[in-house]
Structure 1
């Protein structure tokens, strides 16, 4: 596992994070690990768009659809 160092964090932000970690009953390290896990488990908008494009791309052309409609109409 990789160690991570964050420099130049303002004191008021560190204090807020320490309070939130304590309220959650966690160490600051455990609190940060949970934040990172939560953030990385959510897809970004770009990732969602790419996924939607992959999953909604049809292998059927407009011509195929129109031909199927015409075929169904003639079969009535």
Structure 2
């Protein structure tokens, strides 16, 4: 399994992470590995938008989007 080394972590940040790990009854390494996994699994807004664009294509201007949204809300 690959290793990750992070240098120059401020003491207060290290202490906060250590406390969080202790609250979960985990070592700092276990806690950070879980958090990194969670971070890696999250998609960014740009990734989501790229996926939507790839599936549906096209672009809508801001004003058209606002108008369409207003129209949709008025129908309810």
Report the TM-score when normalising by structure 1.
Answer: 0.70
Matched ranges for 1:12-23 at <5 A: 12-23=12-23
Larger radius of gyration: 1
Residue segments in structure 2 that go unaligned for 5+ positions in a row: 59-76
Matched ranges for 1:48-59 at <5 A: 48-57=48-57
Report the TM-score when normalising by structure 2.
Answer: 0.70
Residue segments in structure 1 that go unaligned for 5+ positions in a row: 59-76
CA distance in 1: counterparts of 2:44 and 2:16, whole angstroms: 26
- Cα offsets for 1:10-64 (capped at 9, x unmatched): 1111011000000011110010011111111111111111100112238xxxxxx
Cα-Cα RMSD: 1.3
